[in-house]
Structure 1
């Protein structure tokens, strides 16, 4: 079975059991502009064209780091099924059409925050910023996607699946692209 199909099956199994408020959370790791690794949780949107989609501001730290070095990693940890999936791949900016689609799917509070806030920048008055966001929400008008809000398509080059076992003899399989084809290896726990 292809690794993308395994991912989809595992993801759906976890979603059916998950009690997490945000079951689509995934850890995105980038190489910082200072060459230190940088990790944060983002929301996984879907698999599109055999790539993993995440969204957010292009001028945020993650956006700047991906622009500087397109090699990224995603790590999924699923509590209910006791599985982990590690993905390494290359990130590219998604199309304007996809960015519009994902922005429209966001709730109004998320749209308002994205249209007003400059993610990761320092702020002196958080209450004033919160007031501006609330005013935007209360306007009840359509919120336009900011030009700096988009997303990334992460084309995997490696995917590792790990199923945890009570014996600690975890089952680990590593899929890697070799000469354009997925190659599978069983690796030690």
Structure 2
């Protein structure tokens, strides 16, 4: 086994991308410490692994963004059905630069960009039809125009301190390997199933 958890992650991720029938193989569960002290989890799309960090994006004023602003401690969980593998990550999130966020925003579909400018993610609404009307109006406005990243849209780089890889086995002797960062070096521990 590789002593570098990022090499192992990439190896597993490429395998999942090559074999998965899922429409969203990059989906992962992000868990934060809620503003009320309770854990809070939701699924997002991993944008990439870069410079030994995991990159996610979204509205900075969403509940997720507000929770990360209050506490940078975050967990990421991947479950890959096709390869029967799970990866659990704990670490600290820091905001990516505005230029980096703009680059990720440019990669979004036009519909996703429009939703990002008309919706305040997680806020209440009295009538969804009002948002649909705003969407239609924005569609017309931006028919032949580029949509720029809103100021409240950004992303986070999650620097892990702990990564656990688990490969499920029919025998129930699941293979579990824990990488922990200590003094800027990764140590490896085998965990019981």
Shorter-chain TM range is: over 0.9
Moved over 3 A (4+): none
CA distance in 1, matches of 2:24, 2:166: 21
For residue 172 of structure 1, give the secondary structure of its aligned residue in structure 2: strand
Secondary structure (helix, strand or coil) at the match of 1:157 reads strand
Q: In the alignment, what sits opposite 1:133?
A: 135
Match in the other structure for 1:112 = 114
1:84-163 to 2 correspondences below 5 Å? 84-139=86-141, 140=143, 141-163=145-167
Identify unmatched segments of 5+ residues in structure 2: none
Q: 1:171 aligns with which of 156, 172, 175?
A: 175
Partner residue of 1:188 out of 172, 189, 192: 192
Q: Can you list the C-alpha shifts for 1:52-91, whole angstroms capped at 9, x where unaligned?
A: 0000000000000000000000000000000000000000
SS at match of 1:130: helix
1:142 alignment partner, SS class: coil
5+ unaligned residues in a row in structure 1: which ranges? Answer: none
Q: Could you tell me whether the CA contact under 8 Å between 1:115 and 1:144 is conserved in 2? A: no
Offset of 1:136 from its aligned partner?
A: 1.3
Using the TM superposition, give the Cα deviation of residue 152 of structure 1 relative to its aligned residue in structure 2, in angstroms. 0.4
Say which SS state the counterpart of residue 134 (structure 1) adopts. helix
Q: Deviations over 1:108-147 (max 9, x none)?
A: 0000000110000000110110121122123312112110
Q: Which residue of 1 aligns with 2:62?
A: 60
RMSD (Å), alpha carbons: 0.7
Question: Does the aligned pair in 2 maintain the 1:45–1:53 contact within 8 Å?
Answer: yes
C-alpha distance in 1, partners of 2:137/2:25?
29
TM-score, reference length from structure 2: 0.96
Number of the residue aligned with 1:27 = 29
Distance 2:139 2:53 in 1: 33
What is the CA–CA distance in structure 2 between the aligned matches of 1:36 and 1:67, rounded to whole Å? 15
Deviates more, 1:126-135 or 1:64-73: 126-135
Q: Is the 8 A contact 1:94 1:153 kept in 2?
A: yes
